[in-house]
A and B are shown apart, each in its own frame.
Chain A
Amino acid sequence: MKMPWTKLRELGIVGMNQRNADFIMPYNQRKYYPLVDNKLLTKARAIKRGIPVPKLYCSIELEHQIAHLPGILEKHDDFVIKPANGSGGNGIMVIAGKTPGGYFRKANDALISISDIKHHVSNILSGMYSLGGDNDSCIVEYRVKFDPCFEHVSYKGVPDLRIIVFRGVPVFAMVRLPTRQSDGRANLHQGAVGAGIDLATGKTIRGVMSSRPIDIHPDTGTPVSNLEIPYWSRILHLAASCYDLAPLGYLGVDIVLDRELGPMMLELNARPGLAIQIANKQGLAPILRYAEKVGTIPKDPAARVELGLIIREAVLGKPAVTP
């Protein structure tokens, strides 16, 4: 009889303590955190390097700027409002459309008035969603119209891809699919479905919801395994090049697929979570340990994508056979 922790260790599962002590602390320098924690800054740097991001409509830094909000919002039918320093997807308000009566329709079909939006923006500015409660700024940006490939496997909300980039090398990927339980959020611990992706083929392996493996999406009834992610090589390239804009050794890159504009970087994360292991049915440790030993990491993102595939093959053997 093996002890449970021995079993996990053999599976190469990385726990929270190990993630913090062995990967985040040595590879992520504190001074680069603002580059990913402040989404305005991330966006500006991404644009400079030609990395596609959702278009910024406006940013609001001061309380009195809220007065100009109606004028700005008039030009756009749909948009997303979020805190620049938010964490865990908190404080994000998605407006999907407008009603003739002057009301705004949220992604979950609830109607809200302009004063509700103003109140939300004011909450953001006063630091309600930022780490430590410091004053924050607010971002109004393009609402991603997600690619039809995900239409049957998500309930409301925007599905996104999470890619773990270790020392600039993409090593792990999953897609997060919103459910009714997650209230349209692509957040796994709120009940979204996560599905691991085989890096080599760009196909989903299997789905996980609340730590339990599932094969079909609970709200749409469509299988979530063996889905082919479009633009896969572009996505990997995009993820690898994000290392150049924020040199964090252990980086989570969140990518969305827009129907017209293709893959776009949504945000970066300096402390990516561990659920990706469940979605991939594979522990992070053997791959990260192998990648740690690689002497020189190539400068070119395309070469790093290649390296990622080589590392995975070296550690896991042949690309996993999808069921």
Chain B
Amino acid sequence: MKRTKIYMIALILFLISGSFMYYKVTKLGMPLIPSQQSDVWVVEAKLQFQAGGGPAKASFYIPNDPPGFVKLNEDFISSNYGLATNPAGENRKAEWAVRRAKGKQVLYYRMELTPDSSAPAPRTTPRPGYPQAPEHDDTMQAAIDALLNDVRAHSADVATFTRELLTRLNNPKPDQNISLINKVGYGSVEWVRQLIGILATARIPARIVYVLPLQDLVKHGQLVPWIEVHNDFEWIAFDPVTGQQGFRDNILVWRTGDDPLVTIHGGKPATVDFSMSRQTHSQVDVAEQWARQSNAKVMEFSLFALPVQTQNVYRIILMVPLGALVIVVLRNLIGLATFGTFMPVLVAMAFRETSLMWGIVMFTTLVTVGLLLRQFLEKLHLLLVPRLAAVLTIVIMLIAVFSIISVRLDMERGLSVALFPVVILAMTIERMSIVLEETGSKEAFKLGLGSMIAAIIGYLVMTNGLLAHLFFVFPELLLAVLGLTMLVGRYTGYRLMELWRFRGLMKDADKP
């Protein structure tokens, strides 16, 4: 009776989750597998400055919904800094702040982008007023007027006017007027500013746009100024050097306007370096792209409606039940013994941050060293809770040493050690040492190995690209996981390990 009830509930759960999925796949066209061939650009900006020793604040423009791209992910790696991102007009600003900073400071901003195949929405805002014509001396004024008259005669609207102007200014064999105007280098910021001035003389609103030309494997890229003119409807972008209209595929708009890119309070001015690389991701989230492009009502209530950072958190959280299911299977169907019930899941989540090999190396080293130190603490006859606290302190110191060494050796992984769940590590060490004393090293080793195996399997399942994609796009799959868990919950058959345990009895039975 109980069993049929469980089967019914599980069946209902499977049906609900299956029908939701069916609807999303067939009616909404949600992809079942993550796209294989989309390009993903990884762009990293590195800020460096010397801090004065007191409070330091860095505010840095970052892209806000760049046209022609879909932002997949962004990260701020800023060790001890507090971070806020704020909209600033057309742009977005990252504000880092710290109470006390001395010496060389390095902050990173990293984003992953994929080209957006659909036509970008026109850039209409803000609607500018007509600019005041700037003052020039007489000769200059005459030269500009002559140029503008010529351009006006050869153009029909604001866009053609600008293109015509750029063609003339960029002519490799300039006439007299143009050599008089062109004093600064082609394509430089000053040159673009001057260009805006010339357009203002013709009462055409123009603004500077800083873009990052995307090129694979560039280490020290810099922002390049472009120009945008307003034609009463929208902003039209031009490459000031070639005069080509519109942003090309590999042009990432970083910000609009001419304020300093980065401002530092409490330190020397910062240098900014851009590096970028192109990857072909298997995990590119076509669904997310899709969600942004389409306006399906269902998507309003999906996880895609959340801010990117929250989405990233959910990408991890949604995998936790799957990790728990792995533990259920390992314990109740296989019979693997582990420390604690869900501790391996937590360790697996730590592996996410450190990568698998590093995680295993770090985990075993920390546990071994921690155990040795704990043996020493045991000799001092400390009470239980202070001893646990002492182990915790030591583990944290060990992790700090790990980070320092890895930074010294220029290994980036050191940065993520800080996210290692320290308390779990300390509890593991304490538990392991009790088992070690009480039931011997064999049992402790067995449990430790079991936990490690469970953590590795959990890690592999929880970081599987296809599963991560499926669970994020179809969170209703969690209902199916729930159903499976319930089914295993009523499994009363043998565990795999028990077949080994009772092998002697089987052998006896085989004998006549």
When each residue 108-130 of chain A gets 1 if its CB lies under 8 Å from chain B and 0 otherwise, what string results? 00000001000100110011110
Which of chain A's residues have a CB closer than 8 A to the CB of B498? 8, 13, 15-16
Which of chain A's residues have a CB closer than 8 A to the CB of B490? 21
Interface size on B, residues (CB 8 A): 27
Residue B509 contacts which of A11, A18, A126 (CB distance < 8 angstroms)? A11
Question: With the chains together, A128 CA to B384 CA distance in Å?
Answer: 7
Are B434 and A128 in contact, CB atoms less than 8 angstroms apart?
yes
Which of chain A's residues have a CB closer than 8 A to the CB of B492? 15, 17-18, 21-22
Query: Which among B440, B492, B501, B505 has the greatest number of chain A C-beta atoms within 10 A?
Result: B505
Are B499 and A281 in contact, CB atoms less than 8 angstroms apart?
no
Secondary structure at the B interface, as helix, strand, loop or mixed, is helix
Are B501 and A122 in contact, CB atoms less than 8 angstroms apart?
no
B89 within 8 A of A: no
Question: With the chains together, A129 CA to B384 CA distance in Å?
Answer: 11
Are A122 and B494 in contact, CB atoms less than 8 angstroms apart?
no
Which of chain B's residues have a CB closer than 8 A to the CB of A278? 501-502, 504-505
Interface size on A, residues (CB 8 A): 34
Query: Which among A8, A22, A122 has the greatest number of chain B C-beta atoms within 10 A?
Result: A8
Which of chain A's residues have a CB closer than 8 A to the CB of B332? 17
Are B505 and A212 in contact, CB atoms less than 8 angstroms apart?
no
Are A8 and B381 in contact, CB atoms less than 8 angstroms apart?
no
Residue A5 contacts which of B384, B439, B494, B501 (CB distance < 8 angstroms)? B494
Shortest B391–chain A CB gap in Å is 13
Question: With the chains together, A8 CA to B492 CA distance in Å?
Answer: 13
Which of chain A's residues have a CB closer than 8 A to the CB of B509? 7, 10-11
Which residues in chain B, 458-512, are within 8 Å of chain A measured between CB atoms?
A: 490-495, 498-499, 501-506, 508-509
Which of chain A's residues have a CB closer than 8 A to the CB of B137? none
Shortest B87–chain A CB gap in Å is 49
When each residue 372-392 of chain B gets 1 if its CB lies under 8 Å from chain A and 0 otherwise, what string results? 000000000101110000000
- Identity of the chain B residue whose Cβ is nearest the Cβ of A126 in the assembled complex: B384
B335 within 8 A of A: yes
Which of chain A's residues have a CB closer than 8 A to the CB of B439? 88, 90, 190
Are B494 and A15 in contact, CB atoms less than 8 angstroms apart?
yes
Which of chain B's residues have a CB closer than 8 A to the CB of A29? none
Residue B494 contacts which of A8, A91, A212 (CB distance < 8 angstroms)? A8
Which of chain B's residues have a CB closer than 8 A to the CB of A90? 434, 438-439
Contacts A18-B493, A22-B492, A190-B439 given; indicate if A115 touches B384 (C-beta within 8 A): no
Are A126 and B494 in contact, CB atoms less than 8 angstroms apart?
no
Query: Which among B384, B385, B440 has the greatest number of chain A C-beta atoms within 10 A?
Result: B384
Are B493 and A17 in contact, CB atoms less than 8 angstroms apart?
yes
- Identity of the chain B residue whose Cβ is nearest the Cβ of A18 in the assembled complex: B492
A222 within 8 A of B: no
Residue A8 contacts which of B385, B434, B438, B505 (CB distance < 8 angstroms)? B505
Question: With the chains together, A278 CA to B500 CA distance in Å?
Answer: 12
Residue B381 contacts which of A18, A115, A211, A281 (CB distance < 8 angstroms)? A115
Are A16 and B495 in contact, CB atoms less than 8 angstroms apart?
yes
Are A126 and B385 in contact, CB atoms less than 8 angstroms apart?
yes
Which residues in chain B, 201-235, are within 8 Å of chain A measured between CB atoms?
A: none
Which of chain A's residues have a CB closer than 8 A to the CB of B502? 8, 11, 13, 211, 277-278
- Identity of the chain B residue whose Cβ is nearest the Cβ of A91 in the assembled complex: B438
Which of chain B's residues have a CB closer than 8 A to the CB of A242? none
Q: Can you add 14 more A-B contacts, CB < 8 Å, to A22-B492, A278-B504, A283-B505? A: A5-B494, A5-B499, A8-B499, A10-B509, A11-B505, A13-B498, A13-B505, A88-B439, A91-B438, A126-B384, A128-B434, A129-B438, A183-B440, A277-B502
Interface of B toward A, CB cutoff 8 Å: 332, 335, 381, 383-385, 434, 438-440, 443, 490-495, 498-499, 501-506, 508-509
26 example contacts (A-B, Cβ-Cβ < 8 A) are as follows A5-B493, A7-B506, A8-B502, A10-B509, A11-B502, A13-B494, A16-B335, A16-B495, A17-B491, A17-B493, A18-B494, A21-B490, A88-B439, A90-B439, A119-B381, A122-B384, A123-B384, A128-B434, A129-B434, A129-B438, A183-B440, A190-B443, A212-B504, A213-B508, A278-B505, A283-B505
